[in-house]
Structure 1
Amino acid sequence: MKVRLSRFVLSIIAAASASAAFAGEVQVAVAANFTAPVQAIAADFEKDTGNKVVASFGATGQFYAQIKNGAPFEVFLAADDTTPAKLETEGMTVPGSRFTYATGALALWSAKEGYVDANGDVLKKNAYNHLAIANPKTAPYGLAATQALDKLGLTQAVASKIVEGQNISQAQQFIATGNAELGFVALSQIYKDGKITSGSAWVVPASLHEPIKQDAVILNKGKDNPVAKQFSDYLKGPKAAAVIKSYGYTL
């Protein structure tokens, strides 16, 4: 009996080991604004497929430079549609793999309750010392912020008060820690299931900036990895769509 039981246990261990051996993974570069959604999507993906997403987070422009310099990313989830398109024209991507996975929204946010009003008038009153944005040269949400300021005629008025984060996550940190009274962030960073999760915010009208279409693409380093294609397809599915919408993106 003991021998049979031992063999049974060993067979289970062997099967589990074999399953683990066949499990794959994909290296994904993810725009910082999409950190929380992709973490939730990756967890679902692993449960559903047994395969793992290894994600790195940062500014889209910085990822572009890293990819051009040979970084081992296999899938790229950008915060715009122009950077993946540029990589596509430069022959750095798998043909036909690019698609828009989400359209983002920009928000003016403060960690203080009641500080930002429903119409964003606090921005025009200019009674603050620091306004945080992401670097507009590398972060599409930073670029959208500068476009909004320009449309509102506030570029010169707030120029001396702007503090730049390397990416949208760092811009949010400036605000969350009180180093800036308010600033521009991705709505997805402060929104979940229909409400603002902390502080106070104004969702910037889409008419004040160019559409923030976020494209995904399979990079050349992922062309021979079936998990790269599997994850890319998973992003288009209903489970991922539900997560993406819950963070305030549109599809």
Structure 2
Amino acid sequence: MSLYSDKESDAKPPVLANKVLSILLPNRLLESVLGDLEEEFNILAKQNIKRANQWYWQQTRETSMIYLKNKLASVEMLGRLNFYLPLIMFIMTAGLIVLLSILSDPTSISDTFWDELLQGKIHMALFSAHFWHNFWDILALAEWGMFIHFESFIISFFSIAMLIHLYKEQQASIIKLALCGYSLAFIPYIWGIMHIANYHFEANQIGPIVATGVLCLLYLLPPVSYIIHRKLKQLQAEHFEFHQ
């Protein structure tokens, strides 16, 4: 049976397209938008049902993208992303630090993990089924001493100070604050990998470089998430006052 009917009486907008719009559009606009689209669809369907369906899907995509961007940019959605993503990354990073501290046989992670460690790429463990299958067992071996590192603390302290300074600037947008904050969190680790790649280090010298980058990430994720949360609350309060 054809996906498209050539009979005018059978011409109806694609059900799936309407379902997409019903999910993304605000309830106050849904009925009027669907009504306008269906009216134009019926006019086109009298001439060519296939062209009418293609037009309807094109309008659905364009309309959906507008409201999808609005949803993703909303304070509520940004707040959820800013809470859950850093929390997940924090737990994963803690697992990597424990792994780096207790690992005696890199081949237990993968056959290539020793070579990846020599390149500073401890994050490659995240692609290992063995790491995830034993993740909670690895995390259970955590000790406070594994997470204390003076150099990482100093780097994190100055990074947080920079971010607080940016936060206190009224002109700093939430996007600018988030990009700056999470970049500061990841830069030490990325710099460590690049530093190892450009110089020839002994195996016992690579560990401290990688540890500094990973521990900076661990130290910075919670305060960066909190500062952005404060900024989002500020924006939410301003938005509420504007509509009062």
Of the two structures, which has the highest relative contact order with CA contacts closer than 8 Å and spacing of 6 or more?
Answer: 1
Larger fraction in strand: 1
Which of the pair has more CA radius of gyration?
2
- Return the TM-score normalized by structure 1: 0.28
Larger fraction in helix: 2
- Return the TM-score normalized by structure 2: 0.28
